[in-house]
Structure 1
């Protein structure tokens, strides 16, 4: 049976977002604990972040989101393009309209970084195709 369009698919996406956010939070918490000299606490946060990453990867597999490398590169480039050209530009516009110039600059820098990621993924995909054609 296909997961597409089911409540379970929606639940998996919610779980994926939660696990992904927890991973990033715990990595940040681990870095802060290390900065404050709490290496043992840092280690626990980092280890827990790795567990959350595994959970997210397992969930993504259920959703059919871990494909062959060329497909992953192309999908990643598309995601980075959307973030760069649509998402963060809109967020920047809203922040400017609300007078939050520091936040707007932050979103602008994210947009530029995501565009850089897109270029890297596209170049890697191009190289992979060239390498496969040589075989």
Structure 2
């Protein structure tokens, strides 16, 4: 079925997705500020890293609407989350939930509708970005679990930790409260295996 792009549901879905990604970028930037105030550098960097990727997703969807430049696109039946908290575990779980919905519901439906209406390039964008959102979901979940179990800076057996500010390496069951080289707080330490582990980078557990 071929549909005129100007009257298509896909046009509105792209605008919904652009609005959603733009808001997600801001939410993660705000969450990164919370982590920064709490001196949790690892959590801050994860939120900032993901916010940059959400900006990239927004740009993809925005560019696909190029032919409507100078116009307004009205969308209906759109709802967006408010996730305000000073609790980092809550913020990570909020993010996990939102990313899961995009990956496993919203973008898959948008992709299917784009295919039905004959917009294969748009369908591909929704499908591939949905895969990235699942990675985001898994990564947020992993870090939330580490915080909840108090394992981000503590291990049950001797482990290797790295200060992400200066690169100092420490071996022990607990990351130092302060880096003995640069004197940065414990929040700058990260288990070395999380840096080198492809599963963590990809978001898999």
Q: Which runs of 5+ in 2 are unaligned?
A: 1-19, 27-54, 60-80, 155-173, 175-205
Q: Which residue of 2 aligns with 1:103?
A: 122
Q: Partners in 1 of 2:98 and 2:121 — Cα distance?
A: 25
Give the alignment's TM-score, normalised by structure 1.
Answer: 0.51
Match of 1:126 among 145, 152, 162: 145
Matched, 1:65 2:78: no
Q: CA deviation at 1:67?
A: 3.4
Q: Give the RMSD, CA atoms, in angstroms.
A: 3.4
Q: Partners in 2 of 1:20 and 1:65 — Cα distance?
A: 13
Q: Partners in 2 of 1:110 and 1:87 — Cα distance?
A: 11
Cα shift readout 1:73-119 (whole Å, capped 9, x = no counterpart) = 11110000001111100100000001111110100011100000000
- Decide whether aligned partners of structure 1 residues 92 and 125 sit closer, same or farther in structure 2, where only a CA change above 3 A counts: same
Larger proportion of helix = 1
Q: Partners in 2 of 1:67 and 1:112 — Cα distance?
A: 29
Q: Which residue of 1 aligns with 2:100?
A: 81
Q: CA deviation at 1:132?
A: 6.6
Q: Partners in 2 of 1:64 and 1:108 — Cα distance?
A: 26
- Decide whether aligned partners of structure 1 residues 80 and 132 sit closer, same or farther in structure 2, where only a CA change above 3 A counts: same
Larger Rg: 2
Match of 1:115 among 131, 134, 145: 134
Give the alignment's TM-score, normalised by structure 2.
Answer: 0.35
Q: Partners in 2 of 1:125 and 1:66 — Cα distance?
A: 14
Q: CA deviation at 1:129?
A: 1.3
